[in-house]
Amino acid sequence: MTTGTSSLFDLTGRTALVTGGAKGLGLAMAKGLAQHGAPIVLADIDDATGEQAAKDLAAETGVEVSYRHLDVTDQGMVERVVAAIDEEVGGLEILLNNAGRTIHHPLEDGDGERWRAVMSLNLDGVYHVLSAVGRRMLERGRGSIINTGSMSGIIANVPQTQASYNASKAAVHNLTRSAALEWASRGVRVNAIAPGYMRTELTRGFYEAGGEQIDIWNMMTPMSRPGEPEELAGAAVYLASDASSFVTGSILSIDGGYTAA
């Protein structure tokens, strides 16, 4: 654990499963948990990147970090992998339910394949992992689950066309609230983080190129810039730790003021 860290934020020994953890927002939040003592299991479908990320994070933080291949859209695989991890670590206590994607396409295109691809990962995948991990946390009467939502679950973005993403994240927010209410009296807390526009590996080149869309995004964000992945880490640590022991069913917006405007 980082020297001088308040015991409220101490995660020593509380193993966290991080889906979509090979890079980007998932890895940044995993790093925050690891810096506060949590052993980490990164799960992703990008095996080469995930395995290297696990090695690097372990070397940087000094905590135990491992990697597991996991396709969250495959419910059978989720059940098998979660069961194996939970048994190996003696019980998962933290879940960062983060795997997701965006596909831009206009509603009128009637492209059910692209719609389903987004929903399958962003909503069904979140449900599969939430259920598999939550069930085991309930058996032990403790645990903290953090779903990755989005400001896109609160507002509809412009100028890009991403109704499937917006709808999926709005559903994640209400799934979060529903699980929180079902499990509040049974020791398992469920919250969500709702990021705004973030500068990740996937969007960095887009931001560097600039243009009208980036100008619109920055103009509509009161802080006039995108967030950096590490700016989500503090929220993840807070929601995972005893510092948020009376917090469940909350959607924490981290968006530079976008949804407040």
pLDDT for position 1: 45
207 assigned to active site: no
Kind and range of the H or E run holding 181: helix 163-183
Angle at 31 (CA atoms; ends 29, 35), nearest 5 degrees: 120
CA separation for the pair 153, 145 (Å, rounded): 18
pLDDT for position 202: 77
Tell me the two tokens of residue 119: 């929903």
Give the active site residue among 67, 127, 165, 197: 165
Whether this model's pTM surpasses 0.75: yes
- Contact 189/247 with Cβ under 8 angstroms? yes
CA separation for the pair 247, 184 (Å, rounded): 10
DSSP at 125: I
Q: Cα separations (Å) of 67 from 82, 87, 126? A: 12, 15, 19
Ordered per-residue pLDDT tens for the chain, 261 residues: 444 557 999 999 999 999 999 999 999 999 999 999 999 999 999 999 999 999 999 999 999 999 999 999 999 999 999 999 999 999 999 999 999 999 999 999 999 999 999 999 999 999 999 999 999 999 999 999 999 999 999 999 999 999 999 999 999 999 999 999 999 999 999 999 999 999 988 788 878 888 999 999 999 999 999 999 999 999 999 999 999 999 999 999 999 999 998
Alpha helices in 22-162 (DSSP H): 24-35, 47-61, 75-89, 112-119, 126-140
pLDDT for position 5: 56
Q: Say if domain 7-260 classifies as CATH 3.40.50.720.
A: yes
